[in-house]
Chains A and B, each alone.
Chain A
Amino acid sequence: MKVLVTVKEVAEVEDDFEIDGTGVDDRYLEYDLNEWDDYAVEEAVQLQEAGDDIEVVSVTIGPERAEETIRMALAKGVDRAIRVWDDALDQDLLDTATKARVFRAVVEEEEPDLILTGVQAGDDAFGATGVALAESVGQEWAAVVNQLDIDHLLAENVARVHRELEGGVEELTDVELPAVLTIQTGINEPRYASLRGIRQAQSKEIAPKTLADLGLEAGDVESSLFLTEMYEPESESDATLFEGSAEETAAELASVLREKGVGAE
């Protein structure tokens, strides 16, 4: 059995930052493995540990810088990785269809039985790549999975999942494999890479692939969406802010709370 996990290196923005054109100035960005993908990687590794002869492969679309992040997935137990990059992919905003097209080419080469993605990426938060990919490769899918019955999957080739709906309700769904599951945070407890894992990751393969390697050309990755503006939203705050030392501000807040009847015996 083969499990493919799509991962993305995402930028996180510091509290104070500046915008430069249609992006956040690089000085205020820190790059990390997308939080949702961390849970997807963990789920794949747990599946590998529960079954026999399961290979876990990670794939990412990203520049060379992303290898550091991919290496973290390898250190947590992913067997090998594929990094797709090309000058033609260096766009402000890759739309869902474009990403699905690139991943489809990888899926056609790798032929995984199960594909795990994060529900969304912490940067642009489209939340759509996994389901679009499933449709594109003709596989079944389930979005926003917060529970997966690993034993059932291994025994029956069916993903028995909980989908986390709004308002504290979960939908119980059976999905035939091959399938794409988009993984929600909280489904498991992502491990920290062990020192041994980090050492082993150094010798694991991260195969670089260009569009040509995947049988694609620049015309195949022309996004239909363009990011034309980025700005800080105007603060709508009309909050009364207390200023001063912790002692002073706490005292002022306490008197407001007492007025509201809080803490009255």
Chain B
Amino acid sequence: MSADVLAVAEHRRGDLRDVSFELVTAGRELADATGGDLHVAVISGDVDGFAEELSLDGVDVVHTVDYGEEFNHDVYVQAVEALYDEVDPTAVVMPNSVNGLDYAPAVAERLALPLVTDAVGFEWDGALTATREMYGSKVETTVEVESERVAVTIRGGEWPAEETHDGAEVRAFDFEPDEDAIRSTVTGFEEVGAGDVDISEAEVLVSVGRGIEEEENIELVQRLADALGATLSSSRPIVDNGWLPKNRQVGQSGKVVTPKVYIAVGISGAVQHVAGMKGAETIVAINTDPNAPIFDIADYGIVGDLFEVVPELIEEFGGE
């Protein structure tokens, strides 16, 4: 076993995703602690172009796997397994993205590696110790891995992106997958959430979350939006319940918005939601729970019952 770290980059439809550059930072941090090299793998797509972009400060080797165009987990699992045999790393670092969760657990299972997912921090002292959240960000935990080898997925946005270019060695990896073992086929992509309203264009958003409790109460928040001349958006549970259409959803799987003012009403601020609105210029939160994570990123807040506060606000702005 070497002390090296293998990080697996992510791309979609021709572009490396942000988490790939964060993986370089996280992977380098870990390799510094283990005393090894950082290897980055890029699988499928324009691997030569991607390798150039990934020739970043701190990267020792970029391995390109030129097979197929888009992500396919059967290809990824085989390619990472083959690279693991080649590099013999102590740690494999992958993104905790939707696609990361589609192959990392299979990689870990196949290679008999302990798996830590959704790490927000880690340390190395002969073995990995990771920081993870539980109970929807209400607590943080320390998880110790009892193994010298480990597979870990990292949460996006927790490590800074490495952007400094530096010449890394690029190696074309000789890889022929077992095509009989590719039993899933990606047939296309679909953009969802199109519709009459584009919330990412709005200057002021009033966003409603789980705290609204019932579908008929949505109308109260709509009246606030109307009184403020704002657009109504929401967090995920509201769309899951079918109370608002998908094009109103702010967050990781919905829209990323950067309005001048974002008013979160009854939204606790789960990490997936925050990923979609933390770029707002001013964030206002109204929530009954003073410990709700939304207050960590809010500029202004009211700890209170939205059913009491919102009608007062509507009145302030002369709404009906």
Contact = CB atoms under 8 A, between A and B. Distances in A.
Interface in B172-196: 183-193
Contact of A232 (B73, B139, B236): B139
Contact of A225 (B116, B254, B308): B116
Majority SS of interface residues in chain B?
A: mixed
B236 A186 contact: yes
A241 B295 CA distance: 9
A71 B249 CA distance: 33
Given A173-B186, A233-B137, A249-B304, A227 B143 contact: yes
A142 B102 contact: yes
A13 B138 contact: yes
Contact of A251 (B99, B184, B297, B316): B316
B158 to A, nearest CB: 13
B189 A172 contact: yes
Q: Tell which of B136, B146, B302 has the most Cβ of chain A within 10 Å.
A: B302
B190 A169 contact: yes
Given A24-B139, A127-B118, A172-B186, A254 B109 contact: no
Contacts of A174: 184-185, 187
A215 interface: no
Interface string B112-154: 1011111000000000010011111111111111110000000
B144 A230 contact: no
B252 A166 contact: yes
A237 B140 contact: no
A144 B252 CA distance: 13
Contacts of A260: 260-261, 282
B108 interface: yes
User: What band does the interface of chain A fall in when counting residues whose beta carbon is under 8 Å from B?
Assistant: 35 or more
A165 B187 contact: no
Given A126-B118, A242-B301, A253 B313 contact: yes
Contact of A168 (B104, B141, B253, B297): B253
Contact of A229 (B141, B240, B289): B141
Contacts of B98: 143-144, 163-166
B101 A227 contact: no
B144 to A, nearest CB: 5
A165 B12 CA distance: 10
B300 A239 contact: yes
A171 B158 CA distance: 25
Contacts, number: 265
Contacts of B185: 173-174
Contact of B300 (A163, A229, A253): A253
A232 B129 CA distance: 18
Interface string A175-189: 110000010011001
Interface of A: 11-13, 15-17, 19, 22, 24, 93, 95-97, 100, 119, 122-132, 134-136, 140-144, 162-176, 182, 185-186, 189, 224-233, 235-237, 239-243, 246-247, 249-251, 253-254, 256-257, 260-265
21 contacts: A96-B108, A96-B115, A124-B134, A127-B101, A131-B104, A131-B106, A165-B98, A166-B252, A167-B256, A185-B236, A186-B236, A186-B239, A225-B145, A228-B129, A228-B144, A231-B139, A232-B139, A239-B300, A249-B312, A253-B284, A262-B204
Given A93-B143, A239-B300, A243-B303, 18 more contacts: A126-B115, A129-B105, A131-B106, A135-B109, A167-B255, A168-B192, A169-B190, A171-B186, A175-B183, A175-B184, A176-B184, A226-B146, A227-B142, A229-B141, A237-B295, A241-B295, A257-B261, A262-B261
